[in-house]
Structure 1
Amino acid sequence: MPHVTVEHGSMANPIYQVGRKSFIYFRTPSKDAADPVTGERYDDVIIFWVPSEGDKLALTQDPDSPFFTTPHFDGHLSVLVRAAQLGELSVSELAEVVQDAWLCRASATRARKWLAEHPA
C-alpha cells in the first residue's frame, strides 16, 4: 500500500501507519488477550482497523474466522488476530483486510486515488 511508514512501539513492535495514522499494529502482550486455559498472554496479536462496526461484527462473529475482539476494544473499530492463525486466511482474504484497514485510515484523497487505480 502506498504512503506507508513503519514506526516502532515501546517494545520495538511494528506499527504500520498511513498519514501518521495507525492502521495495523503488532500489540504487546496484554491481560485481555490470553490463553483461556493457561492464562498466558498472547505475544503475537495483530490489530487491524476496520471501516465500521458492521465489518467488525462480520469478522468476529463468523465461527470460521480467526479474528476476535476483547472488551478492551469495545467501541473501537478494530479487530485482533493472532499471527499463529494467519494461515487460516487465504492470501486474498488477508489482502482485503489489509486494504480495508489502509483505506479507512488513509486520507480521502489517497483512498480515492488508490481505489481509482485498483478497481474492484
Structure 2
Amino acid sequence: MVGFGDVERVVAGLPGTVEAERHGMQTWTVGGKAYAWVRPFSKADLKRFGEETPPEGPILALTVEDLAEKEAVLAARAGDGFFTIPHFDGYAAVLVQLDKVSERVLEEALLDAWLVHAPADVAKTHLGQGYPLR
C-alpha cells in the first residue's frame, strides 16, 4: 500500500535524520545509527526460503528497542506485513513488506524505530509537538 517514496516523506519529518548508504542500500540514521534501511533479499536469504515463496515487493528493515520488542512487534503486526528472516535472528530489527502496510502503520513504525536512536532531547521536543501518532 505504500512505497519508498512514503518512507522518504515520513523520515523527512523526523528531526536529525540523515540519509546515507550502507552496504549499497539507502539507509536513514539518527544520532549516527541506522534506524531504517532498504533490505532486498540476498541470494543466501532466498536460498533459506527453500520451497516457500519469499515476500514480494519493496522490503524495509526497521530497528526495534530489543529482542522482546521484536517479538511483540512481530506478534502484533504479522498481518500488517511485518516479518523476520533467519539472517535477523538475535538482531533487534524487523522487516516490513511495504505493499502490505498502511500509511498509518508505516508512520508509527518509522517513529518507533527513530525513537530507538534519537537523542533524548530531540525526541522529547519532537514528541511534544503532537507526536506520537497513536
Please indicate the TM-score interval, normalised by the length of the shorter structure. Answer: 0.7 to 0.9
Question: What value does the CA root-mean-square deviation take over the aligned residues?
Answer: 2.7
Percent of aligned pairs sharing the same letter: 29
Counterpart position of 1:24:
36
**Structure 2 counterpart of 1:94, from 93, 97, 106:** 106
Which structure has the higher relative contact order (CA within 8 Å, separation 6+)? 2
Structure 1: tracts of 5 or more residues without a match: none
Counterpart position of 2:117:
105
Structure 1 residue identity aligned to 2:73: L
Deviation track 1:13-37 (CA, whole Å, cap 9, x = no partner) reads 2010112110001125322356543
Secondary structure of the residue aligned to 1:60 is: helix
Deviates more, 1:101-110 or 1:58-67: 58-67
**Structure 2 counterpart of 1:65, from 80, 105, 116:** 80
Deviates more, 1:92-101 or 1:27-36: 27-36
**Structure 2 counterpart of 1:80, from 81, 95, 102:** 95
TM-score, with structure 1 as normaliser: 0.77
Structure 1 residue identity aligned to 2:30: V
Is the 2:57–2:99 contact (alpha carbons within 8 Å) kept by the matching residues of 1? no
Structure 2 residue identity aligned to 1:50: V
Counterpart position of 1:53:
67
Q: How many residues align?
A: 116
Q: Which runs of 4+ in 1 moved over 4 A?
A: 33-36
Q: CA deviation at 1:95?
A: 0.4
Deviation track 1:41-84 (CA, whole Å, cap 9, x = no partner) reads x78432101123333223323541311112322222110123xx
Distance in 1, matches of 2:46 and 2:114, equals 24
